[in-house]
Structure 1
Amino acid sequence: MFFVTLLTIVVALVQAVQIPLGALPEDSRRLSAAPIWHFMHVLGGATFGILGPLQFGRVLLRRYGFLHRVMGRVFVAAGGMISLSSLSLLWHFPDTYSAAVNCGRLLFGIALGVALAIAMRAIYQRNVTSHRNWMIRAYAIGMGATVVTMVFLPIYAITGEPPTGLASDIVFLGCWTACVVFAEGLVRRI
């Protein structure tokens, strides 16, 4: 899973450097109107993407339980940053995407925060199975944009412009939903 998220993490880290330098590409310049929220989104996403695969490994939990708990708190904070910043970016840029995509972004932004809250409540109640299941769901929601990137980046590289239109909206929402459905299938198999 780490390899799949690596591309999005690299893009996020590049943007994290571009934001304070004012060096965002032309199609991302609008984000300079809300640089703190965009920076939080990028930094939270990169941290979430890096820590997720490490947190789900059983070796870390069994051999280094303390490290798992510390990294888990950082993971949850990063997920919270993604959730809050995504909602803020949606508020700042309501006209960037279609109404359908904005509804999806709103739903997934809220769902990420809710999934993390349920996961934390479960671990405080010592319900490890529920905690793990909700963390898997949260990770799938948080990294849903990775699947979108994996589909849209080649199109952008070939055409030089981001995909637009109804087909783009369907693919955008379908990729994110597929990620969540995959996680739900994984939860039910575990």
Structure 2
Amino acid sequence: MKTEARRRQTRRKPALWGVPTGLILLSLTPILGGAMRLAELAGGAEITSHNERFFESPVPVSLHIISATVYSLLGAFQFVPALRGRRWHRIAGRILVPAGLAAALSGLWMAVFYSHSADSGAALLFLRLIIGFSMVSSIVLGLFYAIRRRDLVRHSAWMTRAYAIGAAAGTEALIIIGPEILAGQPGIRFQVLITGAAAVINVTVAEYVIHRRARAAARIETEQLATEALVEPTYVGRHILNHR
């Protein structure tokens, strides 16, 4: 009976390789944009009003691009059920945590200390600060629940939120493609709207995934208890007494 329950549980958790593939494709635009920026800095491109700040202080933007690329690509594979609970998942996590923190903190540094155009607006700066601090907080909370509480459910939830926030740049690029083709460079108000919408969309999807995962785990636990009760009728009673 136990073996059959485990087989049913395994069938419900296929290796969803389509999920990391989709996440990687979502991240391609910002990754390619970052690669072009690094090539520009390394090749000594012409300095303009749009890239002057990067040439004046290239370390933060370079760190941001490299860490965000690692975080986006490697983090996508953390959503493969077949890899969870294995050594690879833990090793990847040790790389992803510093990469995610570096991406978020360098992004915050650039938002605050890089000189921006006069029409960039305080609203966009404030929004970027919220997004950056939210990502840092999610990673820190994920670490807290994993290390101090040994609560892997909450750890997974907060790390999912952190990745969703980090991937908002890809969603933003996806949303803005149409308006840029039709009307050219968007204004600051539209940029604020798109940046905020991308973050909201990603966090909403993350919350859906988190709650769906929790419901699936609760259903599996209920079925396992029912299966054990068929084999040993007193099992459920002992389970209830042990949790009083």
User: What band does the TM-score fall into relative to the shorter chain?
Assistant: 0.7 to 0.9
The structural deviation recorded for 1:152 is 2.4
Q: Which residue of 2 aligns with 1:86?
A: 107
Whole-angstrom CA distance in 1 between matches of 2:187 and 2:39:
27
- Which stretch shows the higher mean deviation, 22-31 or 144-153? 22-31
Seen in structure 2, the aligned counterparts of structure 1 residues 158 and 31 have a Cα distance that, compared at 3 Å, is: farther
Question: Residue 112 of structure 1 contacts residue 141 of structure 1 at CA under 8 Å; is this kept in 2?
Answer: yes
Whole-angstrom CA distance in 2 between matches of 1:153 and 1:34:
29
The structural deviation recorded for 1:25 is 8.1
RMSD (CA atoms): 2.1
- Aligned pairs for 1:40-51 within 5 A: 40-51=63-74
Question: Residue 122 of structure 1 contacts residue 128 of structure 1 at CA under 8 Å; is this kept in 2?
Answer: yes
Seen in structure 2, the aligned counterparts of structure 1 residues 177 and 25 have a Cα distance that, compared at 3 Å, is: farther
Q: Does 1:176 align with 2:204?
A: no
Q: TM-score, normalised by structure 2?
A: 0.69
Identity within the alignment, %: 23
> What 5-or-longer segments of structure 1 have no aligned partner?
none
Whole-angstrom CA distance in 1 between matches of 2:101 and 2:201:
22
Seen in structure 2, the aligned counterparts of structure 1 residues 67 and 23 have a Cα distance that, compared at 3 Å, is: farther
Whole-angstrom CA distance in 2 between matches of 1:4 and 1:79:
17
Q: Which residue of 2 aligns with 1:34?
A: 57
| Partner of residue 149 from structure 1, selected from 166, 173, 186 | 173
Number of equivalenced pairs: 187
* Bigger radius of gyration: 2
Q: TM-score, normalised by structure 1?
A: 0.87
| Partner of residue 10 from structure 1, selected from 27, 32, 43 | 32
The residue type equivalent to 1:16 in the other structure is: L
> What 5-or-longer segments of structure 2 have no aligned partner?
1-22, 214-244
The structural deviation recorded for 1:57 is 1.0
- Which stretch shows the higher mean deviation, 23-32 or 122-131? 23-32
Question: Residue 140 of structure 1 contacts residue 179 of structure 1 at CA under 8 Å; is this kept in 2?
Answer: yes
Whole-angstrom CA distance in 2 between matches of 1:38 and 1:88:
9
* Residue-by-residue CA offset, 1:86-143 (whole Å, 9 max, x unaligned): 1110122363432111111001111111100110111113211111100110001111
